[in-house]
Amino acid sequence: GNGNGNGTNGTANTGGGGGASGDPGNGWGTIYRGGTGGSGIVIVRYAGTTQASIGGTKTVAGGYTTHTFTTQGAATFTTP
C-alpha cells in the first residue's frame, strides 16, 4: 500500500492484486485510489511430449510439456 497517495497497480501476468491507497488524514478533498490488479496467468504442465493443447508459450523439458497462457481467450485440451 501507499501511506500517502494512490496505490500501485499489480504486476502484469501474475494475477497480483493492486496496492492500497493512502489516507490523506484530513478528511477533506483529496481522494486516493487503490491500484488495479495485475492480469492473470494460467500454466498447464503434463507428462510427455504429445501435444495436448495449442496456444500459449510451449516449453518441453525433463519429460514434461508446459503451456503458459498470458492472454485472454479460450483454450482446448485433449487427453493424449
pLDDT 10s per residue in the chain (80 long)? 555 678 888 888 888 888 887 766 666 667 788 888 888 888 988 888 887 777 788 899 999 999 899 888 777 777 66
DSSP classification of residue 63: T
Q: What is the pTM of this model?
A: 0.63
Three cell numbers, residue 11: 504486476
The CA distance from 69 to 48, in Å, is 19
The CA distance from 37 to 80, in Å, is 36
- Determine the pLDDT at residue 77: 77
